[in-house]
Amino acid sequence: MLKTEPAPGFDLVDDHREKELAAGEVRVEVGAVSVCGTDRETYEYGPAVRDLGLRLPVVTGHECAGTVVETAADVTTLRIGDRVAVETHVACGDCFQCRRDNAHNCLRMDLLGLTVDGAFAERVVLPASTCFRLPDELTLEAAALLEPAGSAMHAVQRSGLDLTGAHVLVSGAGPIGLAALQIARAKGATVLVVEPNPHRSAMAVALGGTTVAPGDGLTERVRELTGAAEGVDLVLECSGALPALEAGLEVTRREGTVVSVGLTNRPLTLNATRHLISRGLTLKGSFGRHIWDSWTELTGLVAAGSVDLSRLVSHRMELEDVETAIDLLTGDACKVVLYPQGVPDQLRATAETLSAR
């Protein structure tokens, strides 16, 4: 699926020349690839992807997992037949940030599906250094979702908090918020969720969250639910709505933490005296996944069954149906997973049931 023109749309091509492998690269047969807001933005040729350096023409798509089918002669870390998930932040490995264990924020970072060819394809060529070898317990579908869910894992890790017995508020119950909810619960927290969309709010309840209505009365209600602490220990802002971030600062207890994951892209007016000094809050952001800590910790939770990424999947379809998938993202759909080798028979029934939802 090629993005060719600086205009809305994708081109489905079946004769795209496959790259020869360069040193350090592997060829991966894509088993499952999920669709996210960035792919929709690429489809629409929106400002956010232009700011991220979208390079045309490019094969789009990035949240993927598959099987290694070829390795360059110098690759020693992977073998043909290995099942892998893929880190979207393609780091140089050599810059100031990479050398300080911040490869997720590499100064010369490529982005899969935006600046280098991505995974809405039957096969993709990748640096072996961006592949994460999977344990047998994970399906390729769950593995494709490690990338978006890993953003939630990273946010929890960056909070630096032990969540045992903690109160966590997740704002925004999209795929990332629903992953954050499951991760926080798996780590022992009670989770409150703010989500205006009733369908998604119901998903949050089904996953063990307690929903709290947004808007007036939110701070009061959170105080009631958190007792003597008078607020939550941690807010994971996963909506990208500026009012949600502002509300997050209000509902956090004194000396608590707010981690911003949703891309608000609008300036926040912050009363530093009130929030950072008097109330002692810590405000942080979280970009991508920490390589490879976020991957290993999340994979452990999924393999142990305490996080179920299949609960984020609302639709399964063929790669050719990507435009339908992108349309679905504007409705109640959660994660749409595309199967470039065809939807497996055992999942086809659920794919149909789910698309009728």
Sites of contact with ligand NAD (CB under 6 A): 36-37, 151, 171-177, 194-197, 200, 214, 238-241, 243-244, 261-263, 286-288
Q: How far apart are CA 342 and CA 353, in angstroms?
A: 17
In the shown chain, the binding pattern of residues 52 to 91 toward Zn ion, with x for contact by CB under 5 A and - for none, equals -----------x---------------------------x
Handedness of CA 339, 127, 302, 335 (dihedral sign): negative
| Token pair of 151 as six digits | 């953003």
Question: Shortest distance, CB of residue 287 to ligand NAD, whole angstroms?
Answer: 5
Identify what 314 binds: Zn ion, ligand NAD, none; CB under 5 to 8 Å per kind: none
Specify the residue, 95 or 242, whose C-beta has the smaller distance to Zn ion: 95
Task: Decide if residue 48 touches Zn ion (CB under 5 A).
Answer: no
Question: Shortest distance, CB of residue 77 to ligand NAD, whole angstroms?
Answer: 25
Identify what 95 binds: ligand NAD, Zn ion, none; CB under 5 to 8 Å per kind: Zn ion
Question: Shortest distance, CB of residue 90 to Zn ion, whole angstroms?
Answer: 10
Specify the residue, 104 or 316, whose C-beta has the smaller distance to ligand NAD: 104
Identify what 196 binds: ligand NAD, Zn ion, none; CB under 5 to 8 Å per kind: ligand NAD
Identify what 177 binds: ligand NAD, Zn ion, none; CB under 5 to 8 Å per kind: ligand NAD
Identify what 106 binds: Zn ion, ligand NAD, none; CB under 5 to 8 Å per kind: Zn ion
Question: Shortest distance, CB of residue 36 to Zn ion, whole angstroms?
Answer: 3
Identify what 67 binds: ligand NAD, Zn ion, none; CB under 5 to 8 Å per kind: none
Residue 29 has φ and ψ, to the nearest 5°, of: -80, 120
Q: Identify the residue among 1, 30, 59, 98 touching Zn ion (CB under 5 A).
A: 98
Interaction site with Zn ion (CB under 5 A): 36, 38, 63, 91-92, 95, 98, 106
